[in-house]
Homo-oligomer: A and B are copies of this chain.
Amino acid sequence: MAAMEMGDHATFEQYLEKGSVTFSSGRIGIKRDGDDAALFVFSEHAVYAGAFTTNAFKSACVTSAMDRLRAQKKIKAVLITSGNANAGTGPAGRADTERLAAGVAGHVGCAADEVVVLHTGVIGVPLRAERLIGSLEGLCQLAASTPEKLVGAARAMMTTDTFPKVSARAFQVGDTSYTVWGVAKGAGMIHPKLATMLSVLVTDAPVSQRTLQRVLSRVVGQTFNRISVDGDTSPNDSVLLFSTGGARMEAGTAEFYGAVDETIFEDALKSVAQDLAHSIVRDGEGATKFLEIVVRGVQSEADAERIAETIATSPLVKTAFFGEDFNPGRIISAIGRAGVAVSFDRLRLTLGDQRVYDAGQFLVTAESDARRVMAMKEIPVVVELGAGELEIRYWTCDLTFDYVKINAEYTT
């Protein structure tokens, strides 16, 4: 698996050469081994938008980032630490997050509330930021704007991810070329604790905070919210979108936007976010199969999502794919319990290139065809409801021995 999937590579290198963002990574003392801190510093302050976990149990870093967003702070730097989620740690936990923000702020020259701090890792263990503060100076000093530094930062965010996740796209508005890029970490565990999905997305396009938020919400809804490894959500899940061109723009430059431009930007952002979301699924704990679930012919997007999610989180469906057991009955049953009105007489189900259910009945599939489809690494699952024009896509992986192993292993 390649460490990076970057469209328009040359353009991205040009973007990095401008130096408007620098990256750093290193070890500040949370994990026993390896890098546990990633730093992103903007040369000018960036406006930002965010999408956060829907889990009512939120990490201190999420409430802190949400507070900055509510206050419409311009952001100078983002610090991501791995190894400790700083969740369920009470007021002391929030103080730890703010102490790290203040530490970074001192070295990059900004106010503490212009630094966003995110954590990932084990839940319910005090972070004790005081023992980490001393390492921040070195981390800040090493920041530079190279692809290697960026990949290093993406790697330092990882817990049990097996590869760093980076993606970038260039796009054109009028005569000007812009970039949108991002990093993410996925459903990995640190000493088998809760998974945390984190992503930082950045563009140099001059976009206002309000537009950023609107576009981000739509894009997250169609990418990061359409993936499932095991259906669990964490107290730390966060997606942040920064515009380094945004601050400048609000200071006088006009936002580049018309409706057409917004679409161009949104398409590029969606492409990056989808890359990262797919990487998270491909790197799902223990995963051996990548499943693209297409739900087509529906009137309501919410209904379509419910059907896709019920299939994607069914342990019976997921273990069947792991075992390469051709088992459409489990998928039809998952559709039946999704809580959506479905006409089974009109339903069609296709696995790979095999139509397996049509007009209220399962069709006979030749065993050689079944084996061929199940042996694929990437298997399309297409559900056609014949009740409308909408179509959505959802991505998941299989449920394997290794998933159980990774998550059952004793911590000591």
Contact = CB atoms under 8 A, between A and B. Distances in A.
A336 B192 contact: no
Task: Please give the count of copies of this chain that the complex contains.
Answer: 2
| A interface: dominant SS | loop
Interface string A141-159: 0000000000000000000
B124 A194 contact: no
Contacts of A57: 332-333, 335-337, 342, 344
A9 B342 CA distance: 47
Interface stretch (A24-32, A166-174, A386-394, A397-405): A397-405
Nearest to A87: B329
A367 B411 CA distance: 11
Interface stretch (A15-23, A43-51, A128-136, A229-237): A229-237
Interface stretch (A71-79, A268-276, A319-327): A319-327
A360 interface: yes
B325 A192 contact: yes
A340 B342 CA distance: 27
A361 B314 CA distance: 32
Contacts of A192: 319-320, 323, 325, 327
A119 interface: no
A334 interface: yes
Contacts of A326: 411
A85 B332 CA distance: 13
A54 interface: yes
Contacts of A403: 315, 319, 404
A184 interface: no
Contacts of A325: 192, 407-411
Interface in A172-222: 192-195
28 contacts: A55-B336, A56-B337, A56-B340, A56-B341, A57-B335, A57-B344, A88-B361, A90-B359, A123-B330, A192-B319, A192-B325, A193-B327, A233-B333, A233-B336, A233-B337, A235-B333, A235-B336, A315-B315, A319-B403, A319-B408, A322-B408, A323-B409, A323-B410, A325-B407, A325-B408, A325-B411, A400-B408, A401-B404
The 5 closest A-B pairs by CB, nearest first: A323-B408, A123-B329, A57-B336, A124-B362, A319-B407
